[in-house]
Structure 1
């Protein structure tokens, strides 16, 4: 063999050995990362090789799977029953754009790749198992009632069972149909582009893919006064909701010349008791209370309700409801009426009423009851959630009584329901530069039957056809809450 051929053979052998060493090193050091990479199309092909498991509402699946029509290598695509109704719960699963909310959290269970679904042989071979299912706590009557009641308004509503923490409804409008974006065809692409165009920052931005029930925190306005009232009672600033307060009307924010007026200037708000102040939504009382308590005590009470929690999972991660960490006395006064930098999701304000209705104890809200394998065996249960005390039983009882007055004789009269005990709090929150935005109309409430069944509901209407002067929590949000509470308890 001549020298040139020998040298070429040696170099070739060395190159082959180097290539084998490189491949071995990559497999050992990065094999798992490469296999799990979003850019590895084999994973997507595997996921969509068989029908998915389903997400259930009220014992019936609200998701499905069907053969993809384009004949590509992704055999199945996701389908949705009443897609816009349940989109805030299910999220979407797209062949191209991934998965969100329950579809994303339980993706491995629903597509059969979760190791808990596999027998030992399937784990060794990497074979897909029969997919599992996710059972939600959503009550279809409550969900549908809230969705229809919101109609073409921009807003959201959340209903919770105070005793169990089960989320019975999570409604967000406007919504979208996840079925239209679940595939990889041109129609799906066009639908996605249309949805993203509606999620910009323009005048007609309505963001249909935004989960307003869980993922959108806005100023809560006067509904936050319940938190202030709880803090005042818990810190012994006042002994009961019927004790007169020291509250000049109008009230000048401390350290400023800014005078805080009440919307109803004829209301008996001067030195009003907490019951009267909640009934007439007296700004002077709650701004003064917040200032007297101080930012620290107010923040402590707000955080017991769930404000400032950055990991509020239900199991979908909710947006943080914010109570500011640094404020001067004037800003603290504004925070006492749910303004300044205070923000809340409908979930958070439902939790406020939830804790008050459940004797001061907050049971962790959750929208999934069980995760099952294909044979109905439980893989994970959420039916025994954690809880913590937010306030004393006496404080909760006092606030329930005062909230009942708001509905029976005050600003929440549109939430009255024959045969049920109802308590609530209205709110109208200003926002935008110089309060130029359309006010948010809020209502947070609870209802109870004679036999002790309960529900807590919070509603926010961000935009409607109503004139600015007609926007109010009682006018826009309370009727929606009333319908949802009725659906839950009847």
Structure 2
């Protein structure tokens, strides 16, 4: 064999080997990537080929499956009381995708998760038997929150302080995920209608939106003052002028009620009358590092708060002048919080200073009911001591019994709370948010912590208050949680 033929043969062999390597790469690597691609229509067809597993509330499914006339997608998702539970379930749409619990556990719910597939399923390329997602939501508390908010823009969250179980998660106005679950023209029109709605019904205000918390943040400042030793008890007089001149300015901060005894008021009296001057001065006396440390201990500034749906990051600002620091003491300036975050603050106070990780899923199961994962109570931090928590509860009870939160009183039940009216917009030109945070504890020791935020554009500005708009909703939620009448 001459030299030219040998070289040609060797080059041809190299080409064959390269081709074999490329084919193997395409089949083993690129093939898997293509198969797993979210836009692979075969994957979508497989996901909708069988009935789905369900999201369970109070032992009953709030989701379902219905046959379609589509040649590709055999089934679509249905929802029982869709608007009531939309902030919990999220959506599962053939066209617009999935989010919240539907998105996080999509593989389990449609049987494509490896944990739901048997060896035979894997060998034959079939999907497994769909599993279920069991939530911690209490239907009675959820309905109380939803009915209380009605058509108002707002949100409500309820937490069991001892376990971290989320008992209610409501955002209004809501939407019906069933209306956008399919691929019809009617689904497209519903999606467009929801998307164009200025009230943003598909936004989760309870979990994914942040707001100035207003006077409810005074609980965090009071906790920092007591824990740091700035004041030894809730009954000790504070060093608080009335009015209070913001440091470095000539601007005077006053109180909503001119007749309130806010000058040098104790923490208890200042919470009872919601004295702005006391907590603005207190924040300055503490300094921003100490206030921020306390806020962060309660969960602010965490970018990875998953319940398991990720919450928006609540924020306590830094690098600000003392005049702005004073405003943060009353939950203004750039302080931002989700309703979930403020429920967490009250939850820790209610449970002796322990902050339990909030979660709204108790168990994920396979198609045979076998647990794939369980979520046990877990303590995330201890923002305050038991003694500080006890003092704050005592002051919060005074707010309900004789202060600004009387609309949340429940006979025979210990109720503590804090109202808030948060200004916002350019030059505070928008109508304020009405806040109410509270806890309730019955004689058996059963507890619940609640946060309610109402943004009512139709309300008369002078009539917007946490006690007037938000407290009755919180009361109904607490009664439902404690099963009291």
Q: TM-score range with shorter-chain normalisation? A: over 0.9
Structure 1 equivalent of residue 118 of structure 2:
119
Q: Which runs of 5+ in 2 are unaligned?
A: 1-12
Within 5 Å, give how 1:31-110 maps onto structure 2. 31-69=31-69, 71-110=70-109
Within 5 Å, give how 1:238-257 maps onto structure 2. 238-257=231-250
- Kept after mapping to 1: 8 A contact 2:354/2:383: yes
Q: CA deviation at 1:93?
A: 0.3
Q: CA deviation at 1:28?
A: 3.3
Q: CA deviation at 1:125?
A: 3.5
SS at match of 2:450: strand
SS at match of 1:65: strand
Please give the alpha-carbon distance, in whole angstroms, between the structure 1 residues aligned to 2:123 and 2:382.
Answer: 47
- Kept after mapping to 1: 8 A contact 2:356/2:377: no
1:35-84 deviation digits (Å, cap 9, x = unpaired): 11121111100100000000000000000001013x32110000000000
SS at match of 1:189: helix
1:261-301 deviation digits (Å, cap 9, x = unpaired): 11111100000000000000001100000001001010000
Aligned residues: 473
Please give the alpha-carbon distance, in whole angstroms, between the structure 2 residues aligned to 1:141 and 1:384.
Answer: 22
Larger mean CA deviation between 464-473 and 52-61 belongs to 464-473
After superposition, the Cα gap between the structure-2 partners of 1:463 and 1:40, relative to the gap in structure 1 and judged at 3 Å, is same
Given candidates 448, 467, 472, the residue that maps to 2:465 is 472
Q: CA deviation at 1:147?
A: 0.4
Please give the alpha-carbon distance, in whole angstroms, between the structure 2 residues aligned to 1:28 and 1:75.
Answer: 30
Structure 2 equivalent of residue 4 of structure 1:
none
Q: CA deviation at 1:223?
A: 0.1
1:80-136 deviation digits (Å, cap 9, x = unpaired): 000000000000001111100000000000000111112223234432110000000
Please give the alpha-carbon distance, in whole angstroms, between the structure 2 residues aligned to 1:387 and 1:435.
Answer: 36
Given candidates 211, 227, 230, the residue that maps to 2:220 is 227
Structure 1 equivalent of residue 377 of structure 2:
384
Q: CA deviation at 1:31?
A: 2.6
Within 5 Å, give how 1:152-163 maps onto structure 2. 152-163=151-162
Q: Which runs of 5+ in 1 are unaligned?
A: 1-12, 199-204
SS at match of 1:355: helix
Structure 2 equivalent of residue 278 of structure 1:
271
- Kept after mapping to 2: 8 A contact 1:160/1:169: yes
Alignment TM-score, normalising by the size of structure 1: 0.94
Given candidates 256, 280, 287, the residue that maps to 2:280 is 287
Alignment TM-score, normalising by the size of structure 2: 0.95
Please give the alpha-carbon distance, in whole angstroms, between the structure 2 residues aligned to 1:98 and 1:330.
Answer: 46
Q: CA deviation at 1:22?
A: 4.1
Q: CA deviation at 1:21?
A: 5.3
Structure 2 equivalent of residue 3 of structure 1:
none
SS at match of 2:204: coil
Q: Quick check: 1:207 aligned with 2:206?
A: no
Please give the alpha-carbon distance, in whole angstroms, between the structure 1 residues aligned to 2:435 and 2:62.
Answer: 29
Structure 1 equivalent of residue 296 of structure 2:
303
Q: CA deviation at 1:169?
A: 0.3
Structure 2 equivalent of residue 447 of structure 1:
440
Structure 2 equivalent of residue 333 of structure 1:
326
Please give the alpha-carbon distance, in whole angstroms, between the structure 2 residues aligned to 1:440 and 1:96.
Answer: 35
Please give the alpha-carbon distance, in whole angstroms, between the structure 2 residues aligned to 1:324 and 1:399.
Answer: 24
Within 5 Å, give how 1:300-379 maps onto structure 2. 300-379=293-372
Structure 2 equivalent of residue 8 of structure 1:
none
